[in-house]
Each structure stands twice: as C-alpha cells, then as structure tokens.
Amino acid sequence: MATLLTGLSRALTVLEELAAAGPEGMAIKEIASKTSLDKAVIHRILATLKARGYAEQESESGNYFLGTRTLALADVYLKQDNLREILHAAAVEVSAQSNELCHVGVPEGKGVRYIEKIEPDHSIRVVSHIGIVNPQATTSLGRAMLATHVNTRAELDGFLGDESTDQVWCAVESAHAAGFALEIEENEAGISCVGVAIKRGSLPVAAMSLTVPADRMPQERQIELGNLLRSTLKSTLPPSLNIPDIL
C-alpha cells in the first residue's frame, strides 16, 4: 500500500471544508473544529493555498473561501476533449441499448457543436458529423441545454434566428417538464431526435441525443428513449456533472 503524504492530505481536507462552506467561507477556528487540525497548521496551509490562488480571504470577516484557481481546474477538466472522453462510455451504452444513432454536443454561442457520434448496427442517413455546429434552437441537443437556463421568451429570443418563437418555446417548456427535449422532422425530413442536457452545477456543458427515423418515433418511443438517456447518464456521470431534474 502506498504511503500517504500527511501534509497533502491535510491540505485537501481544508480544501474540502472550504468547498462545503460555500461563498460565505470559514474562519480558521471553524476549520480547526471540523478537521481537528492545529490552528498553526491550518494557517500555513491556507497561506500556501492563497499564494497559489486556491483560497482567498475576505478582508472584513477574515473568513477563507475557495479561490478561482479551483474553478479553473474544473474548466480545464471539462474542456471539449475531456468531455468527449468522459461521455464516450455513456454514448456507446445508450446507442447499444437503443440501437440508435447517438450524438454528444457542447454549447458554442447560439449553436451546439457536435463532439461525438456513435453509429448503431443499422445505418441512419443524417447530415451530421463531428465538428458541425447547428442552432441550439432547432436541435434536441440545444433545446435540452436551453431548458436548463432559459425561463422566459425574452431570454429565448437571444438564441433565435429565423426560427418560430412559439415552436421553440413550446419545445423548451416541454423539456422543462419532461427532462428531455424533442425535435421532430424540423432539420431533416423523416428524422426525429430526443436529447438530455448535462450540467455542471446549474449551467449546461453538454447534451446527449438519440436520432431515430420519424416512422419509428411515436410518443411511447420518445418517452422510452428520453428515460434511457436520463437513466444511463445518471449512472455514468462523474460527481461533478448532473442532469436536469424533472419538474
């Protein structure tokens, strides 16, 4: 068994307490009470964390809280290349269980960029490839992400081009309620899609969808595939990521 580094373990314990404390932070005496570490040790740890940007101190209260460097680490971890790797196993599993085409996309301005495509055993002729960018408003991937943070028509307007506000708003409202978004033959004749958003905290970082010929996509199949996406993502996502709750 590997020998643990005591100093590093103590520093990580302090970081975990700062994370749990949230934006209000904690005083050294509170950290000492929760960790049973000596105040002098905690002070040295916090001084090091501050110097590296992993902790900050509020001038009036003296409380310590997480620094912006910790958030930067999460951003690097969740960049496109890493997200594709993180979500690959779930995409393969969803495609295999449904025998349908699976896409993964990430938000890019008003659009969604496709970063993964898993083909089923049978071919489905669709105009998609890794790297393509489609409007969020017209795709199940994009609508699923919009539903995580767009709550009014005014907010939605910023993501629209020539699309029908009523049609997109109905799709977003439906995604709020169901936990998955739909697109039925709006981008390609004969093709329908169901998508689920993937969030870090409250913000969308990606979405996963299944693409199905419209003649095999009655309402029962829509619900079945939406639930399959949700259940698979719930069981495979790392703790830093989550999917929307069903309202």
Q: What is the pLDDT of residues 93-120, one digit of tens each?
A: 999 999 999 999 999 888 999 999 999 8
- At residue 158, the pLDDT reads 84
- At residue 80, the pLDDT reads 63
When pLDDT is cut at 50, 70 and 90, the band that residue 237 belongs to is: very high
pLDDT reading at 1 higher than 60? no
According to DSSP, the residues that pair with 198 across neighbouring strands are 206
CA atoms within 13 A on the CB side of 174: 17
Residue % of the chain over a pLDDT of 90: 57
H or E element: which one contains 193?
strand 191-200
Residue % of the chain over a pLDDT of 70: 93
pLDDT reading at 77 higher than 80? no
pLDDT reading at 36 higher than 80? yes
- At residue 217, the pLDDT reads 92
H or E element: which one contains 48?
helix 39-52
Candidate CATH numbers 3.30.450.40, 3.40.50.720, 3.10.20.600, 3.30.70.140; the one for domain 78-236: 3.30.450.40
Specify the higher pLDDT residue, 56 or 82.
Answer: 56
Q: Regarding the domain delimited by 6-74, which CATH topology (the fold level of the hierarchy) does it fall under?
A: Arc Repressor Mutant, subunit A (1.10.10)
Measure the CA–CA gap between 125 and 129, rounded to whole angstroms: 11
pTM above 0.75, yes or no: no
When pLDDT is cut at 50, 70 and 90, the band that residue 144 belongs to is: very high
pLDDT reading at 81 higher than 80? no
* From 38-52, 68-82, 170-184, 189-203, the region with the lowest mean pLDDT: 68-82
By the 8 A CB rule, do 29 and 1 touch? no
CA atoms within 13 A on the CB side of 230: 17
Specify the higher pLDDT residue, 69 or 9.
Answer: 9
Cα separation values, 85 from 49, 92, 116, 233, 238, Å? 30, 11, 9, 14, 12
pLDDT reading at 164 higher than 80? no
Give Cα 156 distance to the centre of its chain. 19
Domains of the chain, by residue range, sit at 6-74, 78-236
pLDDT in tens, 134-143: 999 999 999 9
In degrees, rounded to 5, the angle at the alpha carbon of residue 139 between the alpha carbons of residues 134 and 140 is 140
Three-state DSSP at 107 gives strand
Measure the CA–CA gap between 21 and 15, rounded to whole angstroms: 10
Section 174-192 average pLDDT: 91
- At residue 13, the pLDDT reads 92
- Paired sense of beta strands 101-108 and 203-213, if any: antiparallel
pLDDT in tens, 213-230: 999 899 999 999 999 999
pLDDT reading at 203 higher than 90? no
